[in-house]
Chain A
Amino acid sequence: MNNPYLPYPVRIRSVVTETEDRNLKTFELVFLRPEDEARFQYMPGQFAELSVAGLGEIPIGIATSPTEKGFIKFTVNKVGKVTHHLHNMSPGEVMGVRGPLGNWYPWEILEGKNVVIVGGGFAFTTLRSSIVYMLHPENRARFGDISVVYGARSPGLLLYKEELAEWERRKDINMHITVDSTNDPTWKYNVGFVPAVTKQKAPSSENAYAIVCGPPIMIKFTLPVLTDLGFPPDRIITSLEMRMKCGIGICGRCNIGTEYVCKDGPVFTLEKLSGLPNEY
């Protein structure tokens, strides 16, 4: 059995600055060894530990979809030691990836269902993975209507802007992009907080599941809206963050009650979460 703590070596292929505050960059990584790439079989919703020799590891959601071959990408917010260093790394440099880790959105259950995605800020990474996955020609027919509410504080803070515009033009996905406020006169999408826009667009809960990812304050105000729309707790799915080290349920720090966020999560239904201590 492989050593589950050993990262696969990868090379940075490209670095894209996503947001106007330059705090979020997307790193495209390619595996140095094809056998590692073959082993790295993941599903949307999973995460990986990004490893920088000399600095350490950080748990980051996988932003690519398994339908995108030949590379994986991660969008990283600049907050600490490893992420600051990462933001200064350039294409061509070698780092490591360990994973895939954790569970994923319940794709087996979502099959044949309408999917409502509600995202805020930079928590849109595994949601991007999910959208790309569902929109893939081989997968699109497996899902019903797809609706997306995605918001950021301002237009410049939205992730993946080109793709958002592309999805806006498609007929097989209902996009509701929003910003908290803007003085950009050319802004052609919604203005308003994510919970308010969700309420206004009122995606049907009929045969539907909601996937919600975002800052705690957004989640807090979005959950009652979804409940009002008729989503029961077992059909509201979210993904949590925690300080992690091992990523495989051993080192002991990321538990909420009995559950390790790294191994038993990061994806939980609201039903499951409501049975756990409120400590996250």
Chain B
Amino acid sequence: MAERYISKEKFTRILDRLMSRYRVYGPVFGGMYHDFEVLKEAGDADLSFRNTRLSPKGLLHPHSERMFEYSLAKDDPEAGIVKEAAKEYPATLILGIRPCDARAFQLVELNYVTEAFQDPWWRNRRKAAVLVGLACNEPCESCFCTTAGTGPFDETGLDILLVDVGTGYVARAVSKEGGTLLGSMEGDAVPSDLTEESARLQRKAEGQLGKQFNVDDLKSKTVSELFNAPFWDEVQFSCINCGTCTFLCPTCWCFDIQDEVYKERGDRIRIWDSCMFPLFTHHGSGHNPRAQKLQRVRQRFMHKLKYYPEKYKDGIACVGCGRCVKHCPVNIDIRHVARLMSTSCTCPA
């Protein structure tokens, strides 16, 4: 696939032009942390960021989304009939998405777009989006992407991978769409020293990321063995069920559906939900299969590390972005839990 060198100065000009063709999202510093926002000017994007606080999943699966609308007016002959809400899917470019987060889109898609059912909103937004990712030269301390099956320079989920080589970017087209897009960008042949620099940065970044656990070892125990393992009691002890982990996680896709009514009009909306909350599984009868905190904590880790790989035969539902590790208020660490799950050792690692 094609490769180009684009100086930073040139890149800003290119981005300016792309903004007339695409709705461009990029990492924007909001005072406290970076998040993906629609760029108003090319300069809004801060590509010196490490990673965004929130994962970019919200760009395809918004935190709250109007699914349908309806009238409840008594004199409306269509009252009570639920109808599709008008939506647009403009061509979108996600700039600076990290390789782990792009890989997360693929993992979520295995659940959202299946042979039997397709989530129309996810599918349409995903189809309209081109991912111009940025390799991680400086992984965070909580990152473990290489352990989770991706990596700081992983191209898998991307259309174009950018590598920041100081003065500019080495841009590599990954997909056909990425090739076309890169072809439309002005750039130069990559000088051999920058090819070498890019490879050096990759080796360095990967070298900083140790092996945190062995994904294959998670297969060595059955669902029942892990479900009934004694270590969950220790893992769940400090959890306060705040849901921060699921909120920040790029592969946590669960949602609730609720009706909201204002006067004579209503919307059916979906909104992110979390397996950390008891209401998530609370039956109308009052029965709750996951009424206990331990059951909810176990569900989160089992889903990511055991149920998902068993069901979809692809990876684990974790890309090692480290957000849950970094922001858990009680320091629960999925790397530690994965080690407990993959070995018989129940001592703190």
Contact = CB atoms under 8 A, between A and B. Distances in A.
Interface string B258-289: 11010000101010010100001111110001
A4 B223 CA distance: 30
A244 to B, nearest CB: 10
Interface stretch (A48-56, A145-153, A166-174): A48-56
B115 to A, nearest CB: 11
By CB atoms of chain A within 10 A, which of B224, B257, B270 has the most?
B257
Given A251-B255, A280-B289, A9 B82 contact: yes
11 contacts: A52-B80, A56-B268, A79-B285, A243-B282, A245-B256, A246-B257, A250-B112, A252-B255, A252-B303, A257-B227, A257-B302
By CB atoms of chain B within 10 A, which of A5, A242, A275 has the most?
A5
A279 interface: yes
B79 A250 contact: no
Given A9-B81, A249-B114, A250-B253, 5 more contacts: A7-B82, A53-B79, A243-B282, A252-B273, A255-B307
Interface of B: 67-68, 70, 72, 79-84, 111-112, 114, 116-120, 223-224, 227, 253-259, 261, 266, 268, 270, 273, 275, 280-285, 289-290, 295, 299, 302-303, 307, 310-311
A237 B270 CA distance: 34
A80 B279 CA distance: 13
A94 B80 contact: yes
Ordered nearest first, which 8 A-B pairs have the shortest CB separation?
A: A252-B254, A79-B284, A94-B80, A80-B284, A248-B117, A277-B227, A53-B70, A9-B81
B84 A6 contact: yes
Contacts of A243: 280-284
Please report whether the interface of chain B is mostly helix, strand, loop or mixed according to DSSP: mixed
A141 interface: no
Interface in A212-258: 241-243, 245-246, 248-258
Interface in A251-271: 251-258, 263
A58 interface: yes
A268 to B, nearest CB: 14
B224 A277 contact: yes
B70 A250 contact: no
Contact of A54 (B72, B114, B255): B72
B254 A253 contact: yes
A9 B111 CA distance: 27
A257 to B, nearest CB: 5
A249 B224 CA distance: 22
Contacts of B266: 53-54
A143 to B, nearest CB: 28
A22 to B, nearest CB: 17
A16 interface: no
